[in-house]
Structure 1
Amino acid sequence: MKKIILTLAVALGLGITQTNAQKLSGGIKAESNLSNFILSDLGSAESSMKLGAGIGGFLKYDLSDFFAIQPELMLHFKSSKMEHNTTKDDFQYIGFNLPVYAMGQWQNEGGNRFYAGVGPYIGLGLGAKYKDADIDLYEEVAGQKPMQRFDFGFGAQVGYEFNEGIQINAGYKLGIIDALDAEKDNTTMLPQMVSLGLGFRF
């Protein structure tokens, strides 16, 4: 009797493990992006989008045939043109981005899949500077940093996956925390980014 119970327990455990493995998948992705800042109370200052890139990976856990949770870890290089009166310079940024999307997904008869999702993200800047001035914007000046490393906001993503696992996707992210540190009580800089990418799910 004990052997029968043990055999059933092992079989049940293997079945649960196999089911969870079937629900979990992962992949890699690369994308191009356009980014800038939404400015407030900065007078005549303007921020224009420039081209950047990103690379990273994702995990996908299927909660059902129509719903999944998808966290991602991306390394982004972003660039934008900053103008204030007669001064112009390129803002350059490199850092990590961790979004978690709640995904809706719909599969057709051919096995291809359309998906769309929204969710929050957190970001950590590794480096930020103005190209010509070559100023580290995370370095303290007179006890204050011009910009802060951490970012938080929300994003959206839509995509199409072919049955071979190849993906085409587009996304948008908007930060809701002021990127400024030293002047954050007087002005606001909110980062935004649009992206277009390719991915492969294993």
Structure 2
Amino acid sequence: MKKVFVLMLLCLFTSVLSAQISAKPGLRVGANFSNFSHTDFDYRTDFYVGGFVALQLTDFYAIQPEINYSRQGAVADLRYYDNGTITSFEKDIEIEYLSMVFINRFSFYNVNMHMGPTFDIELNSSVPTNIDFDMGVTMGIGYTLPMGLTIEARWKRGLFDVLETDDYNGTINTVGDNNANNVFQLGLAYSFKAKGASK
């Protein structure tokens, strides 16, 4: 009898949950301010653009898978010693990624918190890299306006050593080991009308 009762509760819970789920597709666009850990390189400013589907499971919680095109990297002010002479030049380090993000979104009134894992596939790079993909963690905060537009600020930190450190030996820049992606994002997201059952 207990098993039947538990099964009935599970079926009821599943039915209620399914009835409340709504899917909100949307678009994201904004600016990247990126660098690498364990370097003294300057931040590089570029952009990201992508799309998402927010699956609203409860009033305050949604799962939001995203696919983004993200241009990252850094600006290196390289200086070499050569026979007592210092030669300086600026090097633009650009890496392009197809970024897949799985955001857990918690909303409190118009404020929402973002947290989740990322998986990036390298599309192109202006310098040699150690690895052609990256994994990381994204955290952020957003404020949603009544018309569905959200102002977002996020921080994405990679887990893997991206740069070929040996390429920067001989410079007087600080380039240590484990040069992971470090990206701050500031942008906008827009959600379209929800598809599915209304709450």
Q: TM-score, normalised by structure 2?
A: 0.73
Shift of 1:181: 5.9
Please give the alpha-carbon distance, in whole angstroms, between the structure 1 residues aligned to 2:118 and 2:58.
Answer: 23
**Which 4+ runs in 1 deviate beyond 4 A?**
15-18
Match of 2:108 in 1: 106
Q: Which residue among 174, 187, 199 is the counterpart of 1:197?
A: 187
Note the alpha carbon deviations across 1:128-169, whole angstroms, 9 max, x for none: 115xxxxxx2xxxxxxxx431110110112111122111111
2:64 pairs with one of 61, 66, 70 = 70
Structure 2 partner of 1:175: 158
CA distance in 1, matches of 2:132, 2:164: 9
Structure 1 residues 45-99: Cα deviation after superposition (integer angstroms, max 9, x where no partner)? 6321021001101111112111111111110122411234345311012111111
Does structure 1 residue 122 correspond to structure 2 residue 116?
no
Partner of 1:110: none
Q: Distance in 2 between matches of 1:50 and 1:199?
A: 22
- Contact kept, 8 Å, 2:36 with 2:73, in 1: the verdict is no
**Which residue matches 1:33?**
32
Considering Cα pairs closer than 8 Å and 6+ residues apart, tell me whether 1 or 2 has the greater RCO. 2
- Would the alpha carbon gap of residues 17 and 187 (structure 1) be closer, same or farther in structure 2, given more than 3 Å must change? closer
The 2-side partners of 1:28 and 1:19 are apart by: 25
One-letter amino acid of the structure 2 residue matched with residue 83 of structure 1: D
Instruction: Name structure 1 gaps, 5 residues minimum.
Output: 1-14, 40-44, 108-112, 131-136, 138-145
Provide Cα deviations, 1:180-202, integer angstroms capped at 9, x if missing partner.
4686xx83211110011111101
In structure 2, how many angstroms separate the alpha carbons of the residues matched to 1:129 and 1:161? 36
Give the secondary-structure state (helix, strand or coil) at the position aligned to 1:90.
strand
Amino acid at match of 2:101: P
Amino acid at match of 2:92: D
- Residue deviations 1:21-44 (CA, integer Å, cap 9, x gap): x521110010111001012xxxxx
State the distance in 2 between where 1:156 and 1:17 align: 26
- Asked whether the equivalents of residues 111 and 142 of structure 2 are also in contact (C-alpha less than 8 Å), the reply is yes
On the 8 A contact 2:27/2:52 being kept in 1, the answer is yes
| Contact 1:148–1:181, Cα closer than 8 Å, also in 2 | no
Q: Distance in 2 between matches of 1:119 and 1:18?
A: 23
Identity of aligned residues (%): 22
Letter in 2 for 1:174: R
CA distance, structure 2, for counterparts of residue 77 and residue 68 of structure 1: 27
Structure 2: how far apart are the matches of 1:178 and 1:80? 14
Aligned residues: 162
Distance 1:64 1:182 in 2: 46
RMSD: 2.4
Give the AA of the match of 2:131. Q
5+ residue gaps, structure 2? 1-14, 80-87, 167-175, 193-199
Contact kept? 1:46, 1:84, Cα under 8 Å? no
